[in-house]
Structure 1
Amino acid sequence: MKRKTLFTIDAQPYRQPIPVYGYFFGSEEKTLAVMGAIRGDEFQQMYTAAKLVQELTRLEAEGKLTGDCGLLVIPCAGQFSMNVSRRFWPLDNTDINRMFPGYDKGETTQRLAWRIFEALKGYTYGIHLTSLYLSGDFIPHIRIMDTGWQENAEGLDFGLPYLITRKPRPYDTTTLNYNWQVWETRTFSLYTKATDFIDEKSAQEATDSILRFLSRHGFLKDVPLPEGEATQAVSEKNLVTIRNTCGGILLHCRPTSSQVQAGEIIANIVDPYTATVLEEIRAPQKGTIFFARHAQIIAAQTIVFRLIPS
């Protein structure tokens, strides 16, 4: 393992420059790059990347990487935002993952996106450990943007429960995933259960899935790994979105991955002053809870669940 300073974050007031490290394994080939946290609340994504660095360090020392395999892991490029507890860039509240491929003479977040992208370009495969704009629990899954350049079948090699495919929308064209694909890297977004807290079990599951991908593509040798699951491919357009009709305290009745029946109560909205149930949120059809929103107080017409129909 070689640790290199890829660039420094030096456009913040009253603070020393912050180094962004890349961890390199194996040969000089550009086989697979993994990007961890870009936003300031992606603690789980940073930790998952750190777990991967730990595992790859061990495997490289044991001679388990094949000679034609070169790997890069960047655990975090959002340290400044993390330090001040802000999800987006603190000085102007912009999202670095809406600035790709970046511009080296642009605004601060454009320059940071450009530096990140310069480090990640040219790899055959790319994995972004990312998070959704909604705060909540996911079933761990692989997500692929349907750009026409992707290989959906390769998403099955992670052995995670679900592979979600989605057609890109105009605002997706400035994300890392989309631009990585435009620059001919076969790209996957990997979602774990959590974002702003550490979930050890799903972090390990994600780490194992990346190692399983490497093994199934012939880049690891003689490495025993959990078998993984039979992956179900689902189009994002088929997910059922469930919203609440009134605001209040959100109390979940069923967690993510639960199988639910049509009409089953999956959450309640209660009055914050009297604890009276204002609304029973029911499953509109049979399916699996894929996403459950985190919130103590919730406004009306908010996405509370996403359901994979059975």
Structure 2
Amino acid sequence: MGGTVKEKILTLPTPYGGNLELHKNTWGKSGEPLSIVSGLQGDHLNGLFLNSHLTQFLDSIVEGLDPHYTLTGQVQTFPVVNVNAVQSGTRLWPLDGMDMDLAFPGNPEGETAEAIASAILQHTKDSFWGIILTSAPPHYEDAPHIQTHKPDSREKKMCRDLQIETARRQKDSPTQKVNLFHHWQEQEISSVMVSAGSPRTINPQQCEVLFQGILNFMKAEGILKDHRNKKPDNKIKTRIYDPDEEVLVRTSAAGMLLKEVKVGNFLKKGQKIGEVRDIYSGKRLEELAAPEDGLLITLRQYPIVYEKEPIAILLSGKDRWQKIGHVFQSIVKR
């Protein structure tokens, strides 16, 4: 078993003097690694916190300070990809305004974001598994969950091994061909994204859910050995929701949103989500309620909303059961 290796994989000059440095951490023996990437956006701080937690945990194992575990595979992490944006406290680096996750496959001779993207792809291309740590879009909060696109059998196994209750299959997007996740899949790297929380915030409780999920995965895949022979508690079954099982809740009036629920809650049809009030008079303009039963996976955090603004996403199995019912009825009629 190897020790911890911190490696500088890229050095670039910056307009402000000094250099930008990109690092990766590696633990364990050589082989097909698990790669974990965070900080593609500078405001996704939950991912940075989770990656630092993983670093502390893996360091304690290889240094012999944690007698419960042995690292039997290889893990490499890229804690802060968009270094400039993180340092400026923004989603994107203000100087170039480029979204780091829209710069792949990158170009080693290109602009800063393209050079970073090229380095990340080069250093992860031999991975067997990949996990991207992310958060909700600006102004929203996600409950901890897995994201994937068109999961094959290996990625479905990743979802099961993570034992995080909820997974969402993402819709195809015209921008997906220039993000890291797409290029990992093109290279047949089994990969998922895990999301939790809001931009510009750290939520240790949400990060702990993802941390335990990654530990579950490493143990299931033989990357990590637990010597305690502890029988697992009730194994969590992951439910993968399709895009047509997502229910979007929108406002009909502009104003100030006052929420009454939290992400991760299961809502019953008609349950109040919140209300919109007029900014000037304080008068209630509308009450927002769950249109059907479902898991509240995403909720708007920024309170100022426009007309027809999405404020919540519910995950409901209703469409799937309706389809099964229609198929069953058609079979019976035959």
Classify the TM-score, shorter chain: over 0.9
Structure 1 residues 100 and 306: CA distance shift in structure 2, 3 A: same
Pairwise mapping of residues 61-76 of structure 1 onto structure 2 (< 5 A)?
A: 61-62=63-64, 64-67=69-72, 69-76=73-80
Partner of 1:53: 55
Query: Could you give the per-residue CA deviations for residues 98-135 of structure 1, whole angstroms, max 9, x where no partner exists?
Result: 11111223333222211121122110000000233343
Aligned residues: 308
SS in 1 for 2:188: coil
For 1:308 and 1:235, the matched residues in 2 are separated by 9
Partner of 2:43: 41
SS in 1 for 2:222: coil
User: Given residue 262 of structure 2, which amino acid in structure 1 is its aligned partner?
Assistant: P
Q: Verify the 8 A CA contact 2:165 2:237 in the aligned structure 1.
A: yes
Q: Verify the 8 A CA contact 1:248 1:270 in the aligned structure 2.
A: yes
For 1:135 and 1:8, the matched residues in 2 are separated by 33
Q: Verify the 8 A CA contact 1:142 1:164 in the aligned structure 2.
A: yes
Q: Verify the 8 A CA contact 1:129 1:191 in the aligned structure 2.
A: yes
Partner of 2:7: 4
Superposition deviation, residue 77 in structure 1: 1.4
The answer to whether residue 135 in structure 2 is matched with residue 128 in structure 1 is: no
Structure 1 residues 302 and 51: CA distance shift in structure 2, 3 A: same
For 1:87 and 1:8, the matched residues in 2 are separated by 21
The answer to whether residue 277 in structure 2 is matched with residue 258 in structure 1 is: no
SS in 2 for 1:19: strand
Structure 2-normalised TM-score?
0.86
For 1:133 and 1:150, the matched residues in 2 are separated by 27
Q: Out of 139, 158, 162, which is 2:162 matched to? A: 158
Partner of 2:274: 267
**Structure 2: segments with no counterpart, 5+ residues:** 318-334
Query: Could you give the per-residue CA deviations for residues 253-297 of structure 1, whole angstroms, max 9, x where no partner exists?
Result: 111122222222211111111211111111111112111011121
User: Given residue 51 of structure 1, which amino acid in structure 2 is its aligned partner?
Assistant: H
For 1:9 and 1:161, the matched residues in 2 are separated by 41
Superposition deviation, residue 2 in structure 1: 1.2
Superposition deviation, residue 149 in structure 1: 8.4
Q: Verify the 8 A CA contact 2:168 2:241 in the aligned structure 1.
A: yes
Pairwise mapping of residues 103-252 of structure 1 onto structure 2 (< 5 A)?
A: 103-146=107-150, 151-222=155-226, 227=233, 229-252=236-259
Q: Verify the 8 A CA contact 2:43 2:200 in the aligned structure 1.
A: yes
Structure 1-normalised TM-score?
0.93
For 1:221 and 1:103, the matched residues in 2 are separated by 38
User: Given residue 56 of structure 1, which amino acid in structure 2 is its aligned partner?
Assistant: L
Superposition deviation, residue 66 in structure 1: 4.5
Partner of 1:26: 28
Query: Could you give the per-residue CA deviations for residues 218-258 of structure 1, whole angstroms, max 9, x where no partner exists?
Result: 12112568756322221133110111111111110111122
Query: Could you give the per-residue CA deviations for residues 52-103 of structure 1, whole angstroms, max 9, x where no partner exists?
Result: 1111111223373454x11101111122112222211221211010111112
Q: Verify the 8 A CA contact 2:277 2:284 in the aligned structure 1.
A: yes
For 2:200 and 2:154, the matched residues in 1 are separated by 29
For 1:117 and 1:73, the matched residues in 2 are separated by 13
The answer to whether residue 83 in structure 2 is matched with residue 79 in structure 1 is: yes
Structure 1 residues 197 and 220: CA distance shift in structure 2, 3 A: same
Runs of 4 or more off by more than 6 Å in structure 1?
Answer: none
User: Given residue 218 of structure 1, which amino acid in structure 2 is its aligned partner?
Assistant: G
Superposition deviation, residue 17 in structure 1: 0.8
For 1:223 and 1:6, the matched residues in 2 are separated by 34
For 1:223 and 1:190, the matched residues in 2 are separated by 27
The answer to whether residue 104 in structure 2 is matched with residue 97 in structure 1 is: no
For 1:132 and 1:303, the matched residues in 2 are separated by 13
User: Given residue 141 of structure 2, which amino acid in structure 1 is its aligned partner?
Assistant: D
Q: Verify the 8 A CA contact 1:103 1:114 in the aligned structure 2.
A: yes
User: Given residue 288 of structure 2, which amino acid in structure 1 is its aligned partner?
Assistant: I
Query: RMSD across aligned C-alpha pairs, in angstroms?
Result: 2.0
**Structure 1: segments with no counterpart, 5+ residues:** none
Structure 1 residues 137 and 229: CA distance shift in structure 2, 3 A: farther
User: Given residue 242 of structure 1, which amino acid in structure 2 is its aligned partner?
Assistant: V
Superposition deviation, residue 144 in structure 1: 1.2
For 2:191 and 2:183, the matched residues in 1 are separated by 9
Q: Verify the 8 A CA contact 1:96 1:109 in the aligned structure 2.
A: yes
